[in-house]
Structure 1
């Protein structure tokens, strides 16, 4: 087996593993939406994380199709991001079904401005570029920058852990899965020589490790801070799940 074929083989392995772990991460809020469905109320939960995750999946799906224009294989990116789009649309539909009138209006504006207008502007502007490779590079940088912002979102959760001495709102299994997810996609991007996937996942790996270290340090400390309301804690858990959606 030549060096090139070996790299391609292992890239596919890491890409498939990345799909599997990302699949689980996308499904992590299922219990939350079961609660929303059961109680017929969105309570204190917000729609922003789901809109952000949908936007990220849409960006990377577009990027994957652009890879085909320059004869690069983006199949593994297409599969997981297509699934991610479908799941996030379902989440948003359920949210809209049980949200208050004010939340429905806000979510509608968010989707129109963020997921439709902003995404449409990005697609339109990049398609004005005549060169396929330049188009791919442009959207690649947009994806990488947005991914860095998404990976930085859990900083607020980590700060709250330190302030409250409680890891109740930073579940270890989720941090572990996100770290493994970042590792899989980093090696996929590295072996495929796709820096727009590899680079942001370095940050994802570092934040994942930092969260697991914090969990180890604070897990035996005070778990029930009197200043933390139970509903606030649960809302933060969901926020951390969705803001740390897999970057592919």
Structure 2
């Protein structure tokens, strides 16, 4: 509940900042683009926070394979779209999504034999 309220407060403060304090035009769009870019990059990097634990244990059960596939498809499509528009506010923040997905695919490949011994969905049915 506190996290939801905190996120709502951040969104409300952002809305006030962009609508009340910044004049309409290029400055507002520039600040909004930068803010969205920061949030997008942090979203793509967040699954790698468990990277040290995954490498130490050799177990990729903390990572979601379907999310990794969706991330690479989504980030690649946004990068291609941004390149067509020559819009770096689209290209730059979505590029880390491609790289982080490739890192996660490597981890799935590297530690596949360890994780296949006990898939996470079967461990709950014991």
Would the alpha carbon gap of residues 160 and 192 (structure 1) be closer, same or farther in structure 2, given more than 3 Å must change? Answer: same
What's 1:119 paired with?
14
1:144 has 2:37 as partner: yes
Would the alpha carbon gap of residues 220 and 207 (structure 1) be closer, same or farther in structure 2, given more than 3 Å must change? Answer: same
1:129 has 2:55 as partner: no
Question: Aligned runs of 1:182-197 on 2, under 5 Å?
Answer: 182-197=75-90
Cα deviations across residues 210-237 of structure 1 (Å, max 9, x unaligned)?
A: 100111001112555xxxxx79xxxxxx
Q: Cα offset for 1:179?
A: 0.7
Match of 2:106 among 213, 220, 224: 213
Matches of 2:71 and 2:64, distance apart in 1? 11
CA RMSD of aligned residues (A): 2.2
Task: Return 5+ residue gaps in structure 1 as ranges.
Answer: 1-103, 225-229, 232-248
Matches of 1:183 and 1:171, distance apart in 2? 18
User: Which sits farther off after the overlay, 206-215 or 159-168?
Assistant: 159-168
Runs of 4+ in 1 over 3 A off after TM superposition: none
SS at match of 1:221: helix
Which protein is richer in helix relative to its size?
2
Instruction: State the TM-score, normalizing by the size of structure 1.
Output: 0.43
Would the alpha carbon gap of residues 173 and 111 (structure 1) be closer, same or farther in structure 2, given more than 3 Å must change? Answer: closer
Matches of 1:164 and 1:182, distance apart in 2? 28
Matches of 1:220 and 1:187, distance apart in 2? 34
